[in-house]
Structure 1
Amino acid sequence: MTGRLEGKVALVSGAARGQGRSHAVRLAEEGADIVAFDACRQLDTVEYPLSTPEDLKETVRLVEQLDRRVLATEADVRDSDAVGALVAEAVDRFGRLDVVCANAAVTGFVDDTWSITDEQWDQMIGINLTGVFRTVRAAAPAMIEAGNGGSIVITSSSAGTKGMVNLGHYCAAKHGVVGLMRTLANELAPHWIRVNSLHPTGVNTPFINNDHIRGFIEANPSWAANMQNALPVDQVEPVDISNAVVWLASDEARYVTGVSLPIDAGFAQR
């Protein structure tokens, strides 16, 4: 443990597995105590397996193994009451909140944008955009009141930088969080709270390594050809994104705010 975040408390949504688990563990490795939450249940519009309560327990085990404190609960980012209650409990238990990692998201391919059902649209926007808003809305007042400044890191996507066919609802949400980030960066700057977004390419997690995503790509080779990175790697690792989270949360990035940071192996340059 190098201690760049010693004494800090970090809230991570979507923490049961994948990038969220990786972020929680890396933040803990740097000395932060962790507040972790995830819905841990399946949704009707998502065509691949989502996280489970057992996944969240494993995240807790990994954080505790690093001798850091952790508060974890099953909560949906769309549930304002649940997220607000978790933030209140975290501040009561740990005395502060310094880092917010708004990471929870779902994805899924569609034939085209005009075939998206109301339910598909509402769940995608609800989790990937509204869920970010509700997470930050719950956390920001506690961070302001504490007076310690802080860092909010919002996970967008390469799909938040350009349009991608068959992902209209996902692209809309991931573009939306960038506008939210930029506004929050201005609003929270007087409180020394920095707000940035991350834009990963494909990451080696169950989010994309599942039958739904693989099946669509195999059936649409022209689409897959358009998804190549500039660097000769198909996917990056979760820790590659987590290292950026740690940097943005640390004093090393104390003057970095309002930035859309690609960790995309050059995908945006193709």
Structure 2
Amino acid sequence: MGLLEGKVAFITGAARGQGRNHAVRMASEGADIIAVDVCAPVETVAYDTATEADLAETVRQVEALDRRIVASTADIRDLAALRSAVDAGVAELGRLDIVLVNAGIFSSSRLLEMEDDTWSTMIDVNLSGAWRTIRAAAPHVVAGGRGGSIVITSSLAALTANENMAHYSAAKAGLVGLMKVAAKELAADRIRVNSVHPTTVATDMILNDAFYQLFRPDLEKPTREDFEEAGVTLNALPVAAIESDDVTEAIVYLVADSGRYVTGTTLVVDAGASL
């Protein structure tokens, strides 16, 4: 029997990257999945965001494990859309136990050169979107009366300073405050709330020309190899980026019985970068 047998997990940003990885692993441990992603371009973002075909692939991989999945498109800036997605998923699957607040974006700019929409989009997606996700989903976990777990994907950037990403760091640091208050308010309902803080993760949000340029501004058109050469210097362990699996393993620990008394914590998965 899997670690999450009979449970249902709601995952934002589930079409690809860490979100898909979490969904497939949760399904392999016996969970059914409610999955959402925006599946559309997001303003101020320089890389290609997930598509409906990506979300369909997540559905295919979960169903291949003989688990149920209810998937829909929703922008985490739209509380009504999130509520509709969660409500439909719970109506079909019968319960909700786990909420993975995973969806997010990345962009970069010097602090004093940043445009207003670059700042506001980042905060609205990465911080306010997390609040909306919890607001839409947590009432179902409370109503179940069985307790549960919420994990917010933050970043090492919440704990350390990096140039060109004040808006990203501010949003990710704000998630820590949100997590701690939620952990206190939901503790009486036996709902645990934690955040995970990865270093650079090898996903489409990172593996693109705009991110490579951020790491190697000295080069006109840096490659992934150039990025990895620079990235490996930031971590104590000799890796330029960790994999989605590494973050998923930390999340499984938090949402399964192994983390039954862990709440209000910031779990860092950073290859020693914060050292």
- TM-score normalised by structure 1 residue count: 0.96
Shift of 1:225: 6.7
The equivalent residue for 2:15 is 16
The equivalent residue for 1:249 is 255
Percent identity over the alignment?
Answer: 50
The equivalent residue for 1:53 is 52
2: CA distance, partners of 1:148 / 1:87: 18
The equivalent residue for 1:268 is 274
Superposed structure 1 runs of 4+ greater than 3 Å apart: 223-227
Equivalent residues of 2:158, 2:172 under 8 A apart = yes
2: CA distance, partners of 1:180 / 1:79: 18
The equivalent residue for 2:67 is 68
For 1:153-172, what aligned pairs fall within 5 Å after superposition? 153-172=151-170
2: CA distance, partners of 1:160 / 1:32: 30
Equivalent residues of 2:39, 2:73 under 8 A apart = yes
2:190 to 172, 192, 196: 192
For 1:102-113, what aligned pairs fall within 5 Å after superposition? 102-110=101-109, 112-113=110-111
Which runs of 5 or more residues in structure 2 are unaligned?
220-226
Shift of 1:220: 4.8
The equivalent residue for 1:89 is 88
2:171 to 154, 170, 173: 173
1: CA distance, partners of 2:232 / 2:62: 38
SS at structure 2 position matched to 1:219? coil
Larger RCO: 1 or 2 (CA < 8 Å, sep 6+): 1
Equivalent residues of 1:12, 1:100 under 8 A apart = yes
2: CA distance, partners of 1:178 / 1:196: 8
SS at structure 1 position matched to 2:274? helix
The equivalent residue for 2:134 is 136
The equivalent residue for 2:29 is 30
2: CA distance, partners of 1:226 / 1:165: 17
Shift of 1:95: 1.3
Equivalent residues of 2:43, 2:121 under 8 A apart = no
Q: Which amino acid is 1:201 matched to? A: T
RMSD: 1.4
- TM-score normalised by structure 2 residue count: 0.94
C-alpha distance after superposition, 1:18-65 (max 9, x if no partner): 000101011111100000000011122001111111000000000000
Equivalent residues of 1:227, 1:267 under 8 A apart = no
1: CA distance, partners of 2:122 / 2:218: 22
C-alpha distance after superposition, 1:166-215 (max 9, x if no partner): 00000000000000000000000000000000000111111111011012
| Cα separation, partners in 2 of 1:65 and 1:225, compared to 1, 3 Å | closer
